[in-house]
Amino acid sequence: MPFYLSAAIAFIYGTVVGSFLNVCIWRMPRDQSIIRPPSHCPNCDGKLRAWELIPLFSYLLLGRKCARCGAPISWRYFGVELLTGLFYIALVYYYGWRLEFFTFALFGSALIAAFFVDLEHWIIPDQLNIFGIVVGVAHDLAALALIEVGHPEAVFFKPVLTIPVPFTTASFPMLQSIVGIVICGAIFYAIAVFGELAFKKEAMGGGDIKLAAAIGANLPISLALLSFFVAVALGSVIGIAWMLVMRAMRREFKSYVPFGPMMVTGAFVVIFLGSRIISAYMGYMMPR
């Protein structure tokens, strides 16, 4: 299939998913069902008609406001649809139509929703993290099945790790996702416990711990850890810049910057550049 055709299919698919993500971003932090009722204007409760549900186009056709009551529609609706469409194009570019296109499309979509919900409400809905964990485990099982039926080329990341038993020559196989969930969850849980002891306040929320587990479920462990380093680096830079800007403007500032959006950004960086960063680093450490 020529790339422009793959890109077009991926983009349309992404904008439709993005449209659904907008529903999740609005409803999940408000504890509303994401299935019922059908899409409606949050201001006048008017049910959206078919032509008002077309990703990207409806927003432009409606002139950024509700057709009935005229309430403005947030730029986020357009932004999330466009972002998800572009993300899916990048996925098909990097991974082709391999298994990882589909699992990263699902997991990455949950990440996009988590990003916007955490930014606004400072929470990451459990549904998103649980969905991410399920997708990660499902990837490994589907990968095993594809390899079993003779299609190893359809899988980018290997699903099984061989874990050595310390002090022996024995080893046992384990699903990559399970190892990632346990290790990443444990690291963030430890940070939360020690952070609370050190600072006498919540340093890491439960949502961040579950998000770490979900990232661990979907990325090989080295890439998952790399994504956390990217998140911390990004958090430091943005935190300091924010502080300087607020100080320069002589404004009071909230010292709390949610960490979830940093973790999401770290995961996206690693989904596309992680393997390159690691091989560049290894090449640097061990020059030929």
Query: Could you tell me the smallest distance in angstroms from the CB atom of residue 60 to Zn ion?
Result: 17
Asked if 133 is part of the footprint of Zn ion (rule: CB under 5 A), the reply reads no
CA-angle at 35, arms to 33 and 36, nearest 5°: 75
Cβ atoms 98, 154 nearer than 8 A: yes
Binding span for Zn ion by CB under 5 A among 22-30, 41-49, 148-156, 253-261: 41-49
Contacts of residue 183, defined as CB under 8 A and 6 or more positions apart, other chains included, come to: 216, 221, 224
CB nearer to Zn ion: pick between 63 and 152:
63
| By CB under 5 A, residue 8 contacts Zn ion | no
- CB of 40 or CB of 151, closer to Zn ion: 40
Query: What DSSP designation does 65 have?
Result: B
Pick between residue 6 and residue 43 the one whose CB is nearest to Zn ion.
43
Contact call for residues 274 and 219 (beta carbons, < 8 A): yes
Region 64-93 residues binding Zn ion, contact defined as CB under 5 A: 66, 68-69, 71
Give the separation between CA 52 and CA 62, rounded to whole angstroms.
8
Q: Cβ of residue 251: shortest distance to Zn ion, in angstroms?
A: 34
| Smallest separation (angstroms) from Zn ion to the CB of 215 | 37
Tokens 């963030």, residue located: 188
CB atoms within 10 A of CB 285: 7
What are the Cα distances from residue 270, in Å, to 68, 96, 224? Answer: 43, 17, 8
Binding part of the chain for Zn ion, among 4-12, 42-50, 216-224, 261-269 by CB under 5 A, reads 42-50
39 binds Zn ion (CB under 5 A): no
37, two tokens: 């009722």
Is the backbone of residue 250 left (phi > 0), alpha (psi -120 to 50) or beta? left
Q: Please, which residue, 42 or 152, has the CB nearer to Zn ion? A: 42
Asked if 41 touches Zn ion (CB under 5 A), the answer is yes
CB of 33 to Zn ion, least distance (A): 20
Count residues binding Zn ion (CB under 5 A).
7
Residues near Zn ion (CB under 5 A) are 41, 43-44, 66, 68-69, 71
